[in-house]
Structure 1
Amino acid sequence: MAPQTAFVYLWTGTFLFAIANGTLEAVANPLVATLFPNNRTHYLNILHASWPAGMVLGGFVHTALGSQSWKLQLGCFLIPAAIYGVLFLGQKFPKSEASAKGLKLGEMLRDVGILGAAVVGLFIFLFFKDGLGPLLAGFTGNETFFGGQTWFYISAAVGGAILLMFGGASRWTLGAPLLFVLFITHVLVGAVELGTDGWIQNIEDAILAPGDGTKLFIFTSALMFGLRFCGHFIEHKLGLKPVGILVVCAILACIGLNMVSNVTSFAGALLALTVYALGKTFFWPTMLAVTSDRFPRCGAVAISIMGGLGMMSAGLVGSPGLGYAKDRFSGETLQHANPAIYAEYKAPTPSKWLIFSEVHGIDGQKLEAVNAIPADKRTPDQQTVVSAYISGNRETLKVDSIIPATMAGIYLLLLIYFKTQGGYKVVHIASEGDSAKDAPRKEPQTA
């Protein structure tokens, strides 16, 4: 098979897989929020326990079937799909509170408004420019068009159209400032949780012995799986409201990432990643719970947008941002240590991200060749390259910790805000067309 044909098949399959994942995210979160309106934090955390559970199972499947056909490995996805299909046969599910009150889409979008639409439009623009553009360039071989000013303007036009579409549907309301803040914060959640997950295993493998990163990744995923069943205990027994949980988690995640950046042993990494896992465990589902609790008029719209923003942030901000930082810090460290060695090992292709200047990191193939040499047999120049790479990884994690530190500040301000409003409360829609307000509501019966 020609490389171009293989690329088309791979991209198409990955795109369809992403559509399936996005559909599941868009449906499952509102469904659970509707089924358990008085205990959303607990049950959304249980729902999202499936994420780390899948990573643990995926790690074991890769270990057991890593040498087998890729078709067999990907075929394992059919097992849970078949189980879901059987479980859902004949089931009936309740309408969301907004749908039950007869609210139209425009009314659901009023809290999203122009502020929320601006965030969505920005990420659609980034997706077209930095995500779809390079892929289409690979399809067509026309890098000049899809990497140039024309495609930039097309991407901006699409993002602007999304803004106008959402703005018009919401009747040009500004939107709820609190929901706007939650959207922005969830962008940070996607960057620090999913984006960091995508890099931290490779970073730890570089700092520690090869394979240690995988072991630590499986351990932290298993820890997250267990902790996500404890949401009810934390909220009702320990007395931490959802925003209080988020404050504590952000602080722990910041501390954990700084600890990870300084590890020198497996035991130290185990402790550091435990702290980090404790921090990141409750971010995603608790953010969805807060949005559902405070904005029932949005129905499934707000948390679907929030989930999409988080996912796009991981792919457009988190992962490429960390990759850029690693290249920048590794390259700068090596250049300062020995300019001649840097000139020899400098990556031929520059690394770039958003508005930051282009940098040249360390050539990946040359670095891989050096890492394959036992440490006691490397030349001084080769050891300098490895040391610069490790130093860059450590600095990347320190910079990454700024994200949860920022989140901690935002959550603390939200905590103060809710204190001034009489405390955090679940909001319900009083009657059709009315503004949402605090009101009791029984959990719906399912058929």
Structure 2
Amino acid sequence: MKDLNQKRLFIASCLALLVTAITFAIRARIEGVFTGDYGLTAEQVGRAFAPAFWGFAVAMFAGGYFIDIVKTRTVIWMAFGMHLVGIVLLLLAKDYTSLFISNVFIGLGNGSVEAACNPLVTTLFPDKKSKMLNRFHVWFPGGIVIGSLLAALVIDQLNLSWQVLVALLFIPLGIYGFLFLGQKIPETERVASGVSYKEMMRNVGAPVTITLAVVFMILAANVQSISHAITGSYYLPLLIIGVIAVLIIIEGKAVNKITLLFPFIFACMLLTASTELGTTQWINALLANKGVHPMIILAVVTGLMAVGRYFAGGLIHRLNPPGVLLGSAIFSVAGLLLLSVTNGAFMTVVSAAVFAVGVCYFWPTMIGSAAEYAPKTGALGMSILGGAGFVATSMVLPIMGESIETAGPQMTLRNMAVLPAILVLAFILLSFWVKNKKKA
């Protein structure tokens, strides 16, 4: 660690995540541009935005499997290149196809940032993993605050084109590229601690089944026939989930002979990410008639998330990660239900604040839980969780878009509350597991 510039590398990582976050705020604002000015339906916009999520997953999985072979430095510069190309293509987007392709590159860039920087942060701060991961992930909601306020200023106040808003991404992109330039970047913690690649794979529990499940989810998000077959049936989704669960148990217990803790965390990540990201990506449509600008609500939500994550260390120390996650799930249910019934600016902001408290700790604490309780999963474990979270969101987006058009925003919000309700039960189980492990 003596030869490393920890502060510079951490700041560079945060700015890379800032670029990722601003792209989320920009998508949340310009979905109305593509439905209004370019004639796309809400479902088409949801599908065109989906690559930003499954592309993220592809990059994260690839990074998790190969980061120790190609080195962290290479993945970082891949992120920079993909971001650059994606931003340029987004500036030129005018229809479904061009919007889709631009989001493929942006998604790959965003995923490469997480694939490289999550393990980089845990390597830089081995004794403060959860705390520093939360501080690193401050810049995701923090970036959405910045992006949403910029969107309101550039488009709504100054009446400039949405392309001007997108072009502002070149500023943090250039700065994080400069900060990483010429710096020594360390090996991942897994390599430094001497855990073999084979042992890392084994500790994931069911790497083959999990990877194939994510590939299927990507297909379901992008092939309309598969998507409609799943969403149009009551029993088929349950059957698919059941088959995957059985295969995970067989691979984890019979083949690898190891605890299924990581697959359990993986399943929870699908729901936490969909709750947080699915809602915030459709916030413009979900809260358009609440008496307050949706971008202001997005800024409130993500601003509270940023503050909460920055001071997460003390809370995690007192409650431990499962306790924090359980509280988050409860607040998320309450926030979504309140948003589905409230009207008027004041109560909408209050309800959004409750939702923000709920989703605040989901993402970094889920990744931190894997790093704390399944450390031998290494960079692969963190990448699988991040990738799975985004590919789950890519499935949810078009479903939410169709629901908004048919059932309306209020019913869509109410239905989304089912996801964190399931998580309440899941995190109670996780709390018992951690408690019993400490006793043992």
**What SS does the corresponding residue of 2:341 show, helix, strand or coil?**
coil
Match of 1:182 in 2: 265
Give, in whole Å, the separation in 1 of the partners of 2:334 and 2:319. Answer: 20
Match of 1:123 in 2: 214
Aligned counterpart for 1:232 among listed residues 282, 300, 313:
313
* Structure 1: stretches of 5+ with no match in the other structure: 135-142, 149-159, 331-391, 425-447
Match of 1:404 in 2: 420
Q: Do the aligned residues in 1 keep the contact of 2:272 with 2:389 (CA within 8 Å)?
A: yes
Which structure has more helix as a fraction of its residues?
A: 2
Aligned counterpart for 1:19 among listed residues 88, 96, 108:
108
Are residue 395 (structure 1) and residue 411 (structure 2) matched?
A: yes
Give, in whole Å, the separation in 1 of the partners of 2:227 and 2:362. Answer: 36
Higher mean C-alpha displacement, 96-105 vs 256-265: 96-105
Shift of 1:293: 1.1
The change in CA–CA distance for 1:195 and 1:104 in structure 2 (over 3 A counts) is same
Shift of 1:69: 4.4
Q: Do the aligned residues in 1 keep the contact of 2:205 with 2:260 (CA within 8 Å)?
A: no
The change in CA–CA distance for 1:100 and 1:276 in structure 2 (over 3 A counts) is same
Q: Do the aligned residues in 2 keep the contact of 1:203 with 1:393 (CA within 8 Å)?
A: yes
Q: Which amino acid aligns with 2:118?
A: N
Q: Do the aligned residues in 2 keep the contact of 1:33 with 1:44 (CA within 8 Å)?
A: yes
Q: Which amino acid aligns with 1:77?
A: L
Query: What does 1:179-218 correspond to in 2, within 5 Å?
Result: 179-206=262-289, 208-209=290-291, 211-218=292-299
Query: What does 1:371-386 correspond to in 2, within 5 Å?
Result: none
Give, in whole Å, the separation in 2 of the partners of 1:123 and 1:98. Answer: 24
Query: What does 1:13-412 correspond to in 2, within 5 Å?
Result: 13-66=102-155, 67-114=159-206, 116-131=207-222, 133=223, 172-173=255-256, 176-206=259-289, 208-209=290-291, 211-236=292-317, 239-316=318-395, 318-328=396-406, 330=407, 392-412=408-428
Aligned length: 331
**What SS does the corresponding residue of 1:303 show, helix, strand or coil?**
helix
Q: Do the aligned residues in 2 keep the contact of 1:250 with 1:404 (CA within 8 Å)?
A: yes
Q: Do the aligned residues in 2 keep the contact of 1:253 with 1:277 (CA within 8 Å)?
A: yes
Q: Which amino acid aligns with 1:415?
A: S
- TM score, norm. by length of structure 2: 0.68
The change in CA–CA distance for 1:263 and 1:37 in structure 2 (over 3 A counts) is same
Q: Do the aligned residues in 2 keep the contact of 1:120 with 1:309 (CA within 8 Å)?
A: no
Shift of 1:299: 1.4
1:143-183 deviation per Cα after TM superposition (whole angstroms, max 9, x unaligned): 9x9999xxxxxxxxxxx9xxx9xx99x99526530001000
Match of 2:81 in 1: none
1:336-390 deviation per Cα after TM superposition (whole angstroms, max 9, x unaligned): xxxxxxxxxxxxxxxxxxxxxxxxxxxxxxxxxxxxxxxxxxxxxxxxxxxxxxx
Q: Which amino acid aligns with 1:197?
A: T
**What SS does the corresponding residue of 1:421 show, helix, strand or coil?**
helix
Shift of 1:129: 3.9
The change in CA–CA distance for 1:212 and 1:128 in structure 2 (over 3 A counts) is same
Shift of 1:89: 2.6
Give, in whole Å, the separation in 2 of the partners of 1:41 and 1:146. Answer: 36
**What SS does the corresponding residue of 2:183 show, helix, strand or coil?**
coil
Match of 1:442 in 2: none
The change in CA–CA distance for 1:70 and 1:321 in structure 2 (over 3 A counts) is closer
Give, in whole Å, the separation in 2 of the partners of 1:79 and 1:5. Answer: 23
Shift of 1:8: 4.4
Shift of 1:243: 1.1
Shift of 1:285: 0.2
Q: Do the aligned residues in 1 keep the contact of 2:329 with 2:420 (CA within 8 Å)?
A: yes
The change in CA–CA distance for 1:195 and 1:173 in structure 2 (over 3 A counts) is same
Give, in whole Å, the separation in 1 of the partners of 2:426 and 2:140. Answer: 25
The change in CA–CA distance for 1:6 and 1:407 in structure 2 (over 3 A counts) is closer
The change in CA–CA distance for 1:102 and 1:279 in structure 2 (over 3 A counts) is same
1:39-95 deviation per Cα after TM superposition (whole angstroms, max 9, x unaligned): 222111111111112112112222333243454332211211111122223322333
* Structure 2: stretches of 5+ with no match in the other structure: 1-39, 41-92, 230-242
Q: Which amino acid aligns with 2:306?
A: F
Q: Which amino acid aligns with 1:98?
A: R
Q: Do the aligned residues in 1 keep the contact of 2:278 with 2:393 (CA within 8 Å)?
A: yes
Match of 1:340 in 2: none
The change in CA–CA distance for 1:271 and 1:122 in structure 2 (over 3 A counts) is same
Give, in whole Å, the separation in 2 of the partners of 1:404 and 1:90. Answer: 43
- TM score, norm. by length of structure 1: 0.67
Give, in whole Å, the separation in 2 of the partners of 1:9 and 1:324. Answer: 21
